[in-house]
Amino acid sequence: MTDRLRISLQKKGRLAEDSFDLLRKCGLRFSIRGGGLLARVKNMPVDLLLVRDDDIPSFVANNASDIGIVGENVLVEEQLSSKSPLNAKITMRLGFSRCKLCLAASTTGKVQSPADLNGTRIATTYPGVTARYLAEQGLDAKLVEMKGAVELAPSIGIAESICDLVSSGATLEANGLAAFETILESEAVLIQSDRELSPAKADILAKLMNRIDGVLKSAETKYIMLNAPKDAIEAITDLLPGSDAPTIMPLAGQGDLVAMQAVCTEKVFWETLEGLKALGARAILVLPIEKMMS
């Protein structure tokens, strides 16, 4: 039997779709149907273990899977709340599912800043990270552990503040709350234990990580094509965001113009295009790059 790399992923929720999407962009073909725990990748020796996100760090630590994709917030929380240190660490940051773990309270209540937390109650689903913050800051507050709907805690009178994940802040606002402190910033991460993989699995993982790297890079990278006056070549090259030497080609029948093409590894904003145009560039095209390998 061939060695198959097993990846733990969130089955359903805020991480799930983007994780599946990333793997599909890496060329993995699979279908997630019904309530199955395991999905087989058809064109690579990889199996997907579909679970709740909270279980992913311990599955990786206990060898139920080789690697996992999980929110950094969940990894840190599981590390802090597990009895013995978990053998799971970040191998790669994935850039999606960015959010923050914040302290928040009613805009009209008595808790408006971290110093006001002393002697109060904080409702949270992240007791480990919250307790670590309180200890680091020398604050003394009681934690009220909840499994969800933390934002309701102040209005039902079980806590003066909450510690919860925030992305836009809309949920907080809808409940009359506002964040006053960020205690952790998070994004999706690839995690692994420090156990050595079999050579076959290590090969698959190396290939997968190389592809993930390519997908992440190509998301920001664009191919720019434009026509430019010869005397503006230098100024235009300076303005192209994060590009190496551009390709420069003559244009038939137009002695004073050249065609320029470059790969830009940083975000290309409208302002950049306006700047290029002001330097005399015309017929500017910005194209997405589907795959990259260097």
Work out how close the CB of 54 gets to ligand ATP at its nearest, in angstroms, rounded to a whole number.
Answer: 5
Q: Does residue 151 touch Zn ion according to CB under 5 A?
A: no
163 binds, among ligand ATP, Zn ion, none (CB under 5 to 8 A by kind): none
Nearest residue to ligand ATP by CB is: 71
In the complex with ligand ATP, the residue whose CB is nearer, 192 or 243, is 192
The residue (of 126 and 236) whose beta carbon lies closer to ligand ATP is 126
Between 18 and 47, name the residue whose CB sits nearer to ligand ATP. Answer: 18
Residue 181 found at the interface with Zn ion (CB under 5 A)? no
Neighbouring residues of 188: CB distance < 8 A, sequence distance ≥ 6: 15, 18, 19, 69, 70, 71, 72, 93, 94, 95, 96, 97
Specify the long-range contacts of residues 33-41, CB closer than 8 Å, at least 24 apart. Answer: none
SS3 191: strand
Residue with smaller CB distance to Zn ion, 11 or 201: 11
19 binds, among ligand ATP, Zn ion, none (CB under 5 to 8 A by kind): none
Single out the residue of 236, 293, 227 nearest to residue 257, CA to CA. Answer: 227
User: CB 189 → Zn ion: shortest distance, Å?
Assistant: 15
Opening angle at CA 139, ends 133 and 142, nearest 5: 85
Binding to Zn ion, residues 20-79 (CB under 5 A): 53-54
Are the beta carbons of 95 and 188 closer than 8 angstroms? yes
Distances in whole angstroms, Cα of residue 9 to Cα of each of 13, 23, 47, 137, 163: 10, 11, 10, 34, 25
Residues in the site for ligand ATP, rule: CB under 6 A?
10, 13-15, 52-54, 71, 73-74, 97, 99, 165, 167, 186
Give the interface with Zn ion as residue ranges (CB under 5 A): 53-54
